[in-house]
Structure 1
Amino acid sequence: MVDSTKDIHEPVVLDEIDRRLLEVLKSDGRISNAALAEAAGIAPSTAHVRLRSLQDRGVVTGFLTSIDQRSLGLGLQAIVGVTLRPGARQESIVRFSEEVRNLPQVLQVFFLGGTDDFIVHIAVADSSAIREFVVEHLSAQPSVASTRTSVVFDYHRNGVAASFQ
């Protein structure tokens, strides 16, 4: 269990064993405890206790399933930068985020500081579906001032970041 009195932004101290466990888990979150222990060069009981500690300290926040979007007929991905209109910003930010994050095309939503207020990562079937998504779900919102769409040709993911909330 994470200590709620501790500052969540304070870095957790990790030793070499913790780092080895995390490195193995980054490549295979479904690895058995025995295989994790072997890969890290420690006893299975130690691997179990250490992984539980990493979870309790909030370092490991979950185990995600990676889905090949192409196998679902969603072979085209895009990144859409969204700028909101000035005025009532807090309300617009919260409303936009809540509405967009639950759309089935959305893989990730990033709230930013900078030119764009949000980056929305989507997976769709084709270019007409990108256009439809941007027009119907983004540009149609009164709080949206502009969008910029970039098609993703390829990407590499080193890890998955936990939510900031």
Structure 2
Amino acid sequence: MRLDRIDFAILRELRKNARLPNKTLAERVGVAPSTALERVRRLRESGAISGYHAEVAPAAVGIGLQAMISVRLARHSREDLDAFHAYLLTLREVLAFYHVAGANDYLLHVAVADSDHLRDFALDAFTTRPEVAHIETSLIFTFRRNPDVPIYREAEEG
């Protein structure tokens, strides 16, 4: 799908607030409400918008501590990577994970109730896995999502 400046403006506005009323969205990007509605539909259908998410206050659901866990695997076969990836998707404490290059293979953003929960989770979830060679945990003191989206493509004319 070719995106123009209006599509990019819509993506920026929805990234800031996905619950923005269509009329307000249309005003902010300078189009008619019917145009905004059709553009959002096209962006969804094309996959440019892949979903909408609620930002949940951690304390409201009992999350008292967040951390990044670096994981280094012992082996790097396709089977081990696929199995570890599938395993991570089963862990409710894992908010997000990144398969990365460098000294470690994965960075995991985890959310737990407290430091005891973090210790037990790290030990139980990772030190028992044969493909895991090393873990390192870093506490997160502050987490904020940037509501802006970097756009590196040029808008299409048209």
Say whether the fold is shared (TM-score over 0.5).
yes
Number of residues of Structure 1 aligned to a counterpart in Structure 2: 149
* CA displacement at 1:15 relative to structure 2: 1.5
Mark the runs of 5 or more structure 1 residues left unpaired by the alignment. 1-11
Contact 2:12 2:148 (C-alpha < 8 Å) held by counterparts? no
In structure 2, C-alpha distance between the alignment counterparts of 1:77 and 1:119, rounded to whole Å = 13
Q: Secondary structure at the match of 1:156?
A: coil
Aligned to 2:96: 108
Note the C-alpha offset of 1:156: 2.4
1:77–1:121 contact (8 Å) kept in structure 2: yes
Selected match of 1:81 from 65, 70, 73: 70
Aligned to 1:36: 25
Task: State the secondary structure of the residue aligned to 1:133.
Answer: helix
Q: 2:125 matched to 1:157?
A: no
Per the TM alignment, residue 69 of structure 1 is displaced from its structure 2 partner at its CA by 1.6
Q: Deviations over 1:35-67 (max 9, x none)?
A: 211221211000011111211222111111111
Q: How far did residue 33 of structure 1 move?
A: 1.2
Runs (5+) with no aligned partner, structure 2: 150-158
- For residues 27 and 160 of structure 1, the distance between their equivalents in structure 2, rounded to whole angstroms, comes to 6
In 2, distance between residues paired with 1:129 and 1:117?
23
Name the SS of the counterpart of 2:104 in structure 1.
coil
Q: Which has the higher contact order (CA 8 A, sep 6+)?
A: 2
Match of 2:132 among 116, 126, 144: 144
The residue that corresponds to 1:90 in the other structure is 78
Aligned partners of 1:100 and 1:137 also within 8 Å? no
Q: Tell me which residue corresponds to 1:49.
A: 38
CA–CA distance in structure 1, aligned partners of residues 148 and 99 of structure 2: 16
Distance in 2 (alpha carbons) for counterparts of 1:100 and 1:20: 34
Is structure 2 residue 47 aligned with structure 1 residue 58? Answer: yes
Whole-angstrom distance in 2 between the partners of 1:97 and 1:67: 24
Matched, 1:117 2:134: no
Shift of 1:86: 2.2
Inter-partner Cα distance in structure 2 for 1:146 and 1:75: 25
TM-score (structure 1 length as normaliser): 0.84
